[in-house]
Amino acid sequence: MKDSNRPSKNALYYYVAGIIIILIINTIITPMFFKPHVQEVTYTNFLKMVDEGKASKVEINQNRIALLCKDSDGKENIYVTGRVDDPELVNRLVKANVEFSQVVPREESPIAKFFNNWIFPFLLFIVIGQLIMRFLGPKLGGGGNMMSFGKSNAKVYIEAQTGKTFKDVAGQDEAKEALQEIVSFLHNPAKYNDIGATMPKGVLLVGPPGTGKTLLAKAVAGEAKVPFFSISGSEFIEMFVGMGAARVRDLFKQAQEKAPCIVFIDEIDAIGKKRDNGSFGSNDEREQTLNQLLSEMDGFDGSKGVIILAATNRPEVLDKALLRPGRFDRRVPVELPDLQGREAILKVHSHDVRMSPNVDFHTIALATSGASGAELANIVNEAALRAVRMGRREVIQEDLEESVEVVIAGAQRKGAVISPEEKKIIAYHEIGHALVAARQTESAPVHKITIIPRTSGALGYTMQVDTQEKVLMTKEELFNKIVTLTGGRSAEEVVFSKVTSGASNDIEQATKLARAMITRFGMTDEFDMVALETVNNAYLSGDTSLACAPETAARIDSAVFEVVKEAHEEARRILMSNREKLDELAAYLLKKETITGDEFMAILNGRDPEGPVTVDAEVVASEDAGQSAPQAG
């Protein structure tokens, strides 16, 4: 809500413009019209005019003498000369019958002098300070008030404003079940107090970005019909040491006044990082804020109905004192949704979108393995935008499938110019991926192949879609996936006897997967079940770091070389034994630019790709589930 007492920017502009106009009128325009004409003369000419009787009035000042005389037309003129020590001047003026006087210096009143020297500068300083704080106050975190640096910036949502319930959250059934107890306590705390049970003071929501942690917190407040305080961890950190701690105190004071309520701190890792004793990298403001938060969580009474919810995707960096019982007692994982959860999320986000009755959300959920709720919402929105661009009034299956590709690989680069020779290499590269995947028994079925460039930099890609959800992968499945990744480069070698830079992404993925098999999954006889690598920021980048001696690291590199090399040789063997199909499929892809998995399998099994689709039981049986992923060329 805007501050009604705050002057608008336009009003301030008018004030400044008005002051400038008044100054110009007083200093330039007014003197031009009202100031009499003044001429400077020598003292000799002044005495001459007095002796000749031309002077009518003389005014003697401390440093100059002014003479008023009339000309023959009756017009008065003023002449000015410097004052000279002349004892006979008074006699001359009396003799010439000229009215004269000497200006007496006016002494300023002591009260006026005190006001001008002390009161007026102080008032001017206050006015300027208030104007500065009105404009800079919000940026410094005080809401425009000079004395409100320690005030909390928490946004308060009441039931009508939140508008979120558990019905708006899909794909997180376990998290909702864990939070349902919080809602029950806020509705009927006496039921828990009778048996002597106490609710957790704090609940920590942990999960990757986009999985719905903030939405879950709002849904809890909406279900419980209690006030909802929301603030980000970074808002506690201020430029002045101690301001963050003051804001923590103010936040908990507001929360206790409005109990029962929910306080939600998003990205709590901004203030809750582990404290260290090192002199470098320490942050006094952050540590003081964390200490104040720990103190407040110990001091308030959870039985009054104040529940602290916090969210983070970096739980490993949080201070242990923050996670001990009595503070954040409960940790609720908010993981990436499974197949059933993704399908439910797609349906929730399509409620307000006009969908065709023939849309199959299950197929889209299969193709989006590993997608978060935010990404699925983006897919639905991209599909709606595409339907508008295509001139349709509802979203069809094709729009959703294309939006999945847009999110994964980017939009199509229809204007990209690729030479026929390079286009041929790209076609063989992508068919190499697909053919190797199809000829293996532990690999996901091919869903789509295209050689149309995408804005992500991919010149083409092969998409594989699982027939069912998989949570475990065997050593054979992982190795076959590496074989599939090397199929593109192998096709270039078999057909053109040369290699290109188009396999850079394939090489990166294959190497990363082979290293994980050795260092984290224990899938080699040499290292057995020894963990040689740790995962950092599992919910964010997933970067890894070796935890072994340099000699062991060298042996790991050798083992990775062997795995990738063996997979590369297997891919070459498959392609060389299917060389005729490789040429036939590449020619068809060059002609169509984009082909479906059904068309691919039809040619591979010797059928007409343009004819009716039939199901080959033997082929279906060979297409066991693997991990869905596009193979970028």
Q: How many residues does the chain have?
A: 633
- CA–centroid distance for 517 within its chain: 34
Residue 374 exposed, middle or buried by CB count within 10 Å (0-12, 13-18, 19+): middle
- Say whether the peptide bond before residue 420 is cis (omega within 30 degrees of 0): no
Catalytic pick among 343, 430, 442, 570 = 430
What is the DSSP secondary-structure string of 423-436? HHHHHHHHHHHHHH
Q: Which two tokens stand for residue 287?
A: 């540590």
Residue 155 backbone dihedrals phi, psi, to 5 degrees:
-90, 130
> Is there a contact between 297 and 309 (Cβ–Cβ < 8 Å)?
no
**Closest alpha carbon to 463 in 429, 422, 433:** 433
> Is there a contact between 522 and 509 (Cβ–Cβ < 8 Å)?
no
Place of tokens 């949502």: 157
**Closest alpha carbon to 544 in 578, 518, 580:** 518
- Residue 430 known to be catalytic: yes
Compute CA distances 174 → 333, 412, 469, whole Å.
Answer: 8, 38, 18
Q: Are strands 446-450 and 594-596 parallel, antiparallel or unpaired?
A: antiparallel
Q: How far apart are the first and last CA of the chain?
A: 52
Query: Which string of b and e fits 478-491 if b means at least 16 CB within 10 Å?
Result: bbbbbbbbbbbbbb
SS3 330: strand
| C-alpha to C-alpha distance for 157 and 255, rounded to whole angstroms | 12
> Is there a contact between 481 and 626 (Cβ–Cβ < 8 Å)?
yes
Q: Which two tokens stand for residue 226?
A: 């209690």
| C-alpha to C-alpha distance for 429 and 633, rounded to whole angstroms | 7
| C-alpha to C-alpha distance for 364 and 404, rounded to whole angstroms | 8
SS3 329: strand
**Closest alpha carbon to 593 in 412, 337, 404, 383:** 412
| C-alpha to C-alpha distance for 323 and 287, rounded to whole angstroms | 16
Catalytic annotation, residues? 430
